[in-house]
Amino acid sequence: MSYPMPLPSAPASAQCWRRAFPGELDQARAARRFTAALLAGCPELDDVLLTVDEFVVNALRHTKSGQPGGVFTVEIARWDGAVTVAVTDEGAPSEPAVTDAAPDAESGRGLRTVSLLASGWGWFGNDRSRTVAALFSASLGEAA
């Protein structure tokens, strides 16, 4: 079982962007392009893009966002060397969780990878709407 974990809120001075996407697999690429355009020059861009991809693909595979007519939203915030990325989907009865994948498994390692790359990650929501978010912060990473 996983437990929701709160992340620090972005300060009022943060730059914030939000965009909704149709719930189709080809939109994972569009979400990565959206993120990359906003975070050009970010030292952790590759890790952020991998995280966005993982969150979006999970939303499309495991929630109602991947069903016909579904949607998901990507939100990016940037301030003082920190970045948060969040993906809001249309919910599912299951909860996002870090799992132990078998060595020969073709999936099941994404959230474990995110947990190793990000300063922190968490989720909140229910079977109607859920947000999964990650924080990237050089200063938090140095303190760990």
Using CB atoms within 10 Å of the CB of residue 55, give its burial: 0 to 12 exposed, 13 to 18 middle, 19+ buried: buried
Residue carrying the six token digits 């474990």: 112
Per-residue confidence of the chain (144 residues) as pLDDT tens digits?
344 555 667 888 889 999 999 999 999 999 999 999 999 999 999 999 999 999 999 999 999 999 999 999 999 999 988 999 999 999 998 877 666 766 665 555 678 889 889 999 999 988 999 999 999 986 544 433
Domains and CATH numbers, the chain: 15-143 (3.30.565.10)
Q: What residues contact residue 44 under an 8 Å CB cut-off, 6+ apart?
A: 83, 136, 138
pLDDT at 94: 83
Using CB atoms within 10 Å of the CB of residue 24, give its burial: 0 to 12 exposed, 13 to 18 middle, 19+ buried: middle
